[in-house]
């Protein structure tokens, strides 16, 4: 069987990390099986339509680095199709749904329902009072063809519902959850076509997955209870159902499904904070999937080689920001410094630390600053706070060992020789700085920690930190001399 999978989000404004993981698992499964990964847009709920959301979603997926082989693409700012199974946007496929809906009406597997919203709510309220499952009571199921025709001719508003068989078990096999069975007594006659002429998700997804030859439906577990309806729809239309795979939810620390109210949960949120896409992808891959080896850091290529659905858990994975930060800090340390500096610039501009109009001139300085600080941050939005030490004339000395060195005889001994040597330095570079400091070590007899610790404290207020010569270069000659001159004598 040729593997064809799809990610089919609604364009409602952002890509949730749960959706991003679904896209990733579909992509990885396709890669592992030399299959095709497709992106389809499910926009039949027009009330949820958000202007520009589709473009933002495509941009987020592109940023995350999960390319699709077929489906909706963004080319020069324009949304187009790639592949021969389109259109890949549901609102452009209404004529296709109408054709298959008529087949269901003709075969008796669907029927028009004329119930008002008020009546439906009253029925649901009655069920709630009886502590039953709020569902449609089948009021329009058995109308005669004559009554249906009269209502249609009179222009009554209606929807089309699926006509489920009574007291029937519908069964299917899920690759993660095993055999699943649900009786139609616990199900609703699902609306297939709304009064506005748009199909519901439940109808459109079945038609699209069949016509696009989807072999495996890999989606979140929230769709598990709806799958029996989909399975019955396949049967009613005379089609073979795809293999179903329902992924565990991503949870917050209270083990409830992660949602927008829990804070930053969209790919765009993490992008804005300065997380690297390869770090986010690495982390969410581990939220539900466990590799064979005890490995936590994966490139996308390594994920492609190692991923399998057999090692996806039934239970949800807890989203742990600390673990994400640990992974991201690894990628920050490993990243190309020029690329990282480019990503750092918007954060420094937003904080007002560098002037947007002067970015080109500041690029080398930002590169050195990023090299100095990248080991002390979890994501790039932390950079401005860490960088503030390079913009102040005053330093804040840490308590404890740093304060002891700040008040030490060694620092008093070093103060004047440092000012004299560095004042005369014409080329301000870490290599020339290092060379200028060597005679001072020889003349004062202060070497190793007794030289470098008081010097670091004098310039940064801390005992430990990144490469001191690079720190001095980034601070700049003027600020270094100001800080040295303010030292106690």
Going by C-beta distance under 8 Å and a sequence separation of 6 or more, which residues neighbour residue 209? 6, 217, 242
Where does residue 163 rank: exposed (0-12), middle (13-18), buried (19+ CB within 10 A)? buried
Q: What is the DSSP string of 92-122?
A: G-HHHHHHHHHHHHHHTSEEEE---HHHHHH
What is d(CA 346, CA 43) in angstroms, rounded to the nearest whole number?
33
Known catalytic residue at 260:
yes
Residue 440 φ then ψ, to 5°: -65, -40
| HSE (side-chain half, CA atoms, 13 Å) at 181 | 5
What is d(CA 485, CA 456) in angstroms, rounded to the nearest whole number?
15
Instruction: Quote the radius of gyration of the chain (alpha carbons, Å).
Output: 31
Going by C-beta distance under 8 Å and a sequence separation of 6 or more, which residues neighbour residue 159? 112, 113, 191, 192, 193, 194, 195
Pairing of strands 36-39, 70-75: parallel
Going by C-beta distance under 8 Å and a sequence separation of 6 or more, which residues neighbour residue 462? 398, 402, 456
Choice among 260, 314, 438, 447 that is catalytic: 260
What is d(CA 169, CA 192) in angstroms, rounded to the nearest whole number?
21
Is-contact 416 425, C-beta < 8 A? no
Q: Where are the alpha helices (DSSP H) in 248-382?
A: 267-273, 277-285, 300-306, 321-334, 337-350, 359-373
The count of other CB atoms within 10 Å of the CB of residue 433 is 21
DSSP 8-state code for residue 47: G
Going by C-beta distance under 8 Å and a sequence separation of 6 or more, which residues neighbour residue 35? 2, 3, 4, 5, 29, 215
Where does residue 399 rank: exposed (0-12), middle (13-18), buried (19+ CB within 10 A)? exposed
Active site members: 260
């Amino acid at each position: 069987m040729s593997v064809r999978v799809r990610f089919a989000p609604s364009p409602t404004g952002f890509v949730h990390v749960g959706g991003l993981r679904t896209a990733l698992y579909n992509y990885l499964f396709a890669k592992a099986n030399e299959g095709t990964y497709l992106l389809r847009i499910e926009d039949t709920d027009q009330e949820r339509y958000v202007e520009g959301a589709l473009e933002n979603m495509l941009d987020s997926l592109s940023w995350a680095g999960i390319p699709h082989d077929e489906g909706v693409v963004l080319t020069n700012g324009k949304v187009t199709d790639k592949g021969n199974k389109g259109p890949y946007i549901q609102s452009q496929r209404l004529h296709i749904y109408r054709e298959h809906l008529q087949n269901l009406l003709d075969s008796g597997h669907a029927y028009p329902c004329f119930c008002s919203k008020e009546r439906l709510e009253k029925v649901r309220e009655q069920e709630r009072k009886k502590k039953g499952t709020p569902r449609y009571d089948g009021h329009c199921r058995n109308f005669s063809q004559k009554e249906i025709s009269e209502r249609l001719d009179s222009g009554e508003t209606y929807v089309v519902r699926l006509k489920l068989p009574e007291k029937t078990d519908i069964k299917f096999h899920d690759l993660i959850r095993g055999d699943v069975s649900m009786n139609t007594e616990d199900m609703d006659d699902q609306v297939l076509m709304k009064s506005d002429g748009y199909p519901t998700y439940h109808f459109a997804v079945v038609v699209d997955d069949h016509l696009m030859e989807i072999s495996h439906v890999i989606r979140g577990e929230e769709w598990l209870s709806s799958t029996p309806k989909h399975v019955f729809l396949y049967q009613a239309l005379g089609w073979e159902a795809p293999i179903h795979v329902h992924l565990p939810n991503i949870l917050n620390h209270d083990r409830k499904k992660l949602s927008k109210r829990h804070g930053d949960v969209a790919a765009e949120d993490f992008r804005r904070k300065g997380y690297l896409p390869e770090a986010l992808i690495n982390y969410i891959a581990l939220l539900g999937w466990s590799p064979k080896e005890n490995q936590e850091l994966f490139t996308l290529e390594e994920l492609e080689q190692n991923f399998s659905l057999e090692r996806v858990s039934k239970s949800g994975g807890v989203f742990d920001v600390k673990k994400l930060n640990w992974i991201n800090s690894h990628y920050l340390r490993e990243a190309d410094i020029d690329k990282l500096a480019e990503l750092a610039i918007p954060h420094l501009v937003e904080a007002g630390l560098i002037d947007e109009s002067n970015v080109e001139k500041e690029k080398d300085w930002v590169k050195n600053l990023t090299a100095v600080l990248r080991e002390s941050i979890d994501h790039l939005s932390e950079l401005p706070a860490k960088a503030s030490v390079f913009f102040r004339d005053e330093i804040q000395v840490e308590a404890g060992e740093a304060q002891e060195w700040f008040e030490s005889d060694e620092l008093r001994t070093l103060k004047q020789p440092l000012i004299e040597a560095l004042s005369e330095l014409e080329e301000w570079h870490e290599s020339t700085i290092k060379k200028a400091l060597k005679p001072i070590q020889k003349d004062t007899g202060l070497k190793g920690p007794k030289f470098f610790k008081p010097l670091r404290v004098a310039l940064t207020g801390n005992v430990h930190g990144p490469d001191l010569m690079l720190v001095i270069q980034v601070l700049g000659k003027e600020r270094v001399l100001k800080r040295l001159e303010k030292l106690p004598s």
